[in-house]
Amino acid sequence: MTQFYTLFLSFLLWNNAHKGLGQSSEPPVSLKGVQGKDVDLPCNITPPTPDDEVALVLWYRDDSSTPFYSLDARRGGSPGQGRHSSSDSYATRTYFSTVSKPATLQLAAVTGDDKGVYICRVDFRKARTRYSEISLSIIIPPKEPVITNENGEIVKNVVGPYKEGDRLMLLCESEGGQPLPKLTWWQGPVLLDDTYGVTPQKISFNKLELLNLQRQDLYKELSCLASNNDISLPTSATVKIDMTLKPLKLEIDEIDQPLSANKVTNLKCRTAGARPNVTITWWFGGKQMKSTTTRTTKNGNITISTLSFKPSMEDAGKYISCRAANPVIPESALENGWKLSVYQCNIVANPWVTEIGWKFEGQELQTNTSAGIIISNQSLVLQKVGRTNRGRYSCIATNSEGQGESKSLHLKVQFAPSCKSDQKIVHGAARHESVQVLCEVEADPGNVSFYWRFNSTKEIPGLLTFTSNETRSTATFIPRTEHDYGTLLCWASNKVGVQRKPCLFKVVPAGPPDTVKNCSLRNQTEHVIEVECIEGYNGGLSQYFVMEVHDKNFQKLRANLTAPDPSFQADNLPAGTNFLVVVYAVNAKGRSHPLVMRTSTLPAPQTQSRRDTLWQMRFSPVLVVLVGIVAGLVLIACIIVIVMKLKARYYRQKGERTTDLTVKENETNNWANNKRPNGISDTYKSWDPVDSEKLPSSIPLLRDDHQVPSKLTLEMAERHPENKQDKEDKQIYKPLGQNGMKPSAESSGYSEVSNTGV
């Protein structure tokens, strides 16, 4: 009965795990594992509520109803304190970690048999059971690649040796792996080739070809990588390139130095660059010298040969040279040497000459031992002969009858090729667009052979072709990918030797030119401006330059100039005008960013008619409106001032007239009231004009505190008694002692009136 109950319980658990009865499920998870590596299978054991706990964790695989791993925490405590148990096949390879989030079942050293579906069941004390499903796939890495050469021989560590210019072919193969691996060739971090294939036998392969090996390919490491996943490191195989090299340079110590006759001389010749060995020989007058010793430096890169011999006078003019060659490489010899050039000047003169000299290209020569020029009697000795000594030489002699000059003798100096100066270095081209690069050298003789190479990490057949004509060679280059841009190297050689330094040309992606820079105004007059700039990078293509001159006042284009160089002169411009000058470069790919400057022409001489014209030309509508507003404000201010002045004058005159009438009325009333009781006046019977001598034409009525009243006013005040009018008069004229009267407060308005006559 117990066995039946156990089987029934296991069936229910398995049924719940696969049918999802009474459970909550997590989203399925897919994982990849690499054979031999560890894998972590996640399982979420976090309770859905804070007051709940994990009671039991069971792990199932595929359709098995029996768990292969369990964690029992039903007796209480945290899951970490629970009891772990696993089946025998997983006893040493599994462990359930509850520390990580989420918890994981750590499966060590997986194999292909571990592939399948894993189910994690979590029972909580309160919540429903939770299930998590993990689909695990196992990746089997490929075997280590095998590299073979063009002869089908398996190579390890080193491949070669190869000569300069040889073709290298390597085949990489890899067996096994699930899924099948991808094979790639690398040189350090640079990808060389990622094109691979698969044979019917399920073997992956990749074939690498490098054309025209060069000296810098020595000891390069080529690696073949096989990879079928992004989890583990790929398997690989690596080889180094070994090469046999010809001599790179040859030098003779104290070359071109004069030798002493009948004295033993030791000459040293040094060569470098040959590998693995080099042979050095000495030649004198076309014959090989035997008295030589040779030694090699510790690093094996430099070989030194020493020649000992005793020259004689008959050896003058003979050629002595040192030759270095790699015996396993045909035509690899380098040679260097020199000879003394001696010229004799035969003279017929009577009387005999008093002075002898030499000319070179029409210029008189002087003895210069450091430069290798020695003049002795009728002989000219040239040492250290080089290209600068090429030209016409003549002899001059002087006596008492005059000076004579011989016919010129042309000296030719042969030399190995060298790059001609002022060549176009940078060339631009778009992808799949051909570009022609011209390489020109100087050489004597001019019958030279050219060699071209593209300095790239990957050689592509058909990428570079060239044609040659004497000292000129034109290469046609077609970049196809972004990796095909780089440096082209051009060498030349003639019978004298090989060019020591190659001519370098850069091939760059073509684009618009850069902006011109350092623009300056060279000349500025009334009608002309001259602008000069420095050109920028041309974008790899031929460029030309444009200058536009815009009139700022009238928004008009005054000049549009084009030139091969950024130097312009704009003519026929209006005088005294501000301009915007725009300069930019143009090539086949577009135009550069413009450079904008502000400038102006000088103003013209100011005549009257000229001023009127400039006045009309220079005033803008906005300026006219502003001037009109200011003029209107000034006019209004003037009108206000004039009105105020007129009003002030009016009130002043009105005040003067009022004062005159008041004084006359008071005097008349006083006189009328000054009568006797019978009505007959005592002195005056009627109004008579006052004699001008007795009464001045202007009598002041009111004055300041020190003013004296008039005599007529005092007499009238004494003769007539006080009456009402007198009281009023006294209110106006109060006594000021004996000599004056002071105005009262009511008549203070008259204090400003002066010089008023009666």
Quote the pLDDT of residue 16.
47
SS3 state of residue 214: coil
* pLDDT confidence band for 707 (50 / 70 / 90): very low
Q: How does the average pLDDT of the chain come out, rounded?
A: 78
Length, in residues, of the chain: 758
- Please say if the pLDDT value at position 13 is more than 50: no
**Bond into 179 cis (ω within 30):** yes
Quote the pLDDT of residue 440.
94
- Please say if the pLDDT value at position 261 is more than 80: no
For residue 594, count CB atoms less than 10 angstroms from its CB and return exposed for 0-12, middle for 13-18, buried for 19 or more. middle
Quote the pLDDT of residue 748.
36
Q: How many CB atoms lie within 10 A of CB 370?
A: 7
Q: Are 577 and 594 in contact (CB under 8 A)?
A: no
**702-711 average pLDDT score:** 42
Q: Are 380 and 345 in contact (CB under 8 A)?
A: yes
Distance CA 354, CA 397 (A): 8
Structure tokens at 619: 């005033």
Of 272, 277, 271, which is closest to residue 161 (Cα–Cα)? 277
Q: Are 527 and 561 in contact (CB under 8 A)?
A: no
Structure tokens at 105: 């079942």
Q: Are 141 and 35 in contact (CB under 8 A)?
A: yes
* pLDDT confidence band for 352 (50 / 70 / 90): confident
* pLDDT confidence band for 607 (50 / 70 / 90): low
Higher-pLDDT residue of 568, 367: 568
Cα radius of gyration (the chain): 60
Distance CA 266, CA 288 (A): 16
Q: How many CB atoms lie within 10 A of CB 237?
A: 20
Structure tokens at 21: 């009865």
Q: Measuring CA to CA, how many Å separate 723 from each of 257, 469, 676, 678?
A: 151, 146, 14, 17
pLDDT in tens, 39-59: 999 999 899 898 888 889 999
**345-374 average pLDDT score:** 80
Please tell me the least confidently modeled range out of 334-338, 342-346, 411-415, 638-642: 342-346
Of 455, 454, 420, which is closest to residue 438 (Cα–Cα)? 420
Encode burial over 189-224: b for 16+ CB neighbours within 10 A, e otherwise.
eeebbeebeeeeeebbbbebbbebbbeebbebebbb
Distance CA 744, CA 750 (A): 10
Residue 225: strand pairing partners:
184, 236
**Bond into 417 cis (ω within 30):** no
* pLDDT confidence band for 528 (50 / 70 / 90): very high
Distance CA 130, CA 123 (A): 7
* Dihedral sign of CA atoms 506, 511, 517, 523 in order: positive
Of 458, 432, 587, which is closest to residue 514 (Cα–Cα)? 587
Structure tokens at 254: 């104290």
pLDDT in tens, 130-160: 999 999 998 888 989 999 998 989 999 999 8
* Dihedral sign of CA atoms 257, 261, 265, 268 in order: positive
Quote the pLDDT of residue 659.
55
- Please say if the pLDDT value at position 672 is more than 50: no
Residues 6+ apart with CB under 8 A from 727: none
**Alpha helices, DSSP H only, in 674-749?**
711-719, 724-732
Distance CA 245, CA 156 (A): 22
Quote the pLDDT of residue 418.
92
Hunting for tokens 């899951």 — which residue is that?
A: 79
Of 243, 307, 249, 299, which is closest to residue 276 (Cα–Cα)? 243
Of 445, 440, 435, 437, which is closest to residue 422 (Cα–Cα)? 440
Higher-pLDDT residue of 280, 459: 280
